[in-house]
Amino acid sequence: MSHMLCIGYGRQAPESLSDIWLTMLSMIVGATCYAVFIGHATALIQSLDSSRRQYQEKYKQVEQYMSFHKLPADFRQKIHDYYEHRYQGKMFDEESILEELNEPLREEIVNFNCRKLVASMPLFANAEPNFVTAMLTKLRFEVFQPRDYIIREGTIGKKMYFIQHGVVNVLTKGTLGMKLSDGSYFGEICLLTRGRRTASVQAETYCRLYSLSVDNFNEVLEEYPMMRRAFETVAIDRLDRLGKKNSILMHKVQHDLNTGVFNNQENEMIQEIVKYDREM
């Protein structure tokens, strides 16, 4: 046993040649068993937290990339902070995981993951469940750091954003127009009008957002015209608070009112959404 554990020769050291060979064989067997045990134990420990190991391997590549390009220290720290807030030490291939599930399971998971966003957003609280699910399944999670420009005034918009957590500043020509926080959304105006961004939005704190592409935005709203009207009405109200007008949106909303596309109950619900948006 002492030989196999490699802790000594036992009570008496080997003297004859056969004893020496037997001792060497015993020590080799013991060392091999020990190495196999350590290997299996290490593999077991790593498998218990494979997501953290994937994150560490990914970040090693990032560090090598930063070293190769000789990025300055403050830039490296900013990238490090981004990875910490974005992935929180764990990395999953979420899209691949969700794609392997059937649609009911996928919808349940997305609704559960976004429950805080839904609870804090009046737009979703006043909408029918099918619309909420259709929107949530098309959202993509993103993280922005303080002072990051999420959108810039005058650019062509390809996404809108929903704030899960954080504070952003809406800037028009560099002047603060309003602040938006948890449960708010922004960037929808140019998606509705197919125009350019009417304001810049800058992160004041670390922001955890969900983005929605213009194609997915229009795809969902084609099925739910009342929610398109709600987005348009809120957009007009926001522009009014910033001292701006948009004739395209105003014409659309006025046309709906004149033709009576929506009943009184639906119009009241839209006004409730506008009211909540002003209070946020």
Residue 97 lies in a domain: no
202: domain CATH number is 2.60.120.10
Alpha carbon distance, N-terminus to C-terminus of the chain: 73
Residues 246 and 131 in one domain: yes
Residues 56 and 124 in one domain: no
Q: Is 24 helix (H, G, I), strand (E, B) or coil?
A: helix
Strand order in the sheet with 200-203: 149-151, 200-203, 168-172, 175-180
Domain that holds residue 209: 114-279
Where do the DSSP E strands lie in 25-133? Answer: none
Residues 118 and 78 in one domain: no
Residues 118 and 154 in one domain: yes
pLDDT in tens, the chain (280 residues): 555 555 555 566 666 677 667 777 777 777 787 788 787 777 666 666 678 888 888 999 999 999 999 999 999 999 999 999 998 888 888 888 888 999 999 999 998 988 888 888 877 877 888 999 999 999 999 999 999 999 999 999 899 999 999 999 999 887 888 899 998 999 988 888 888 888 899 999 999 999 999 999 999 999 998 888 888 888 888 888 777 777 767 777 777 776 776 777 777 777 777 777 776 6
pLDDT of residue 54: 86
Q: What is the pLDDT of residues 89-107, one digit of tens each?
A: 888 888 888 889 999 999 9
Alpha-carbon span 223 to 229, nearest angstrom: 12
Residues 185 and 257 in one domain: yes
Interior angle at CA 274, CA 172 and CA 230, nearest 5? 95
Residues 30 and 150 in one domain: no
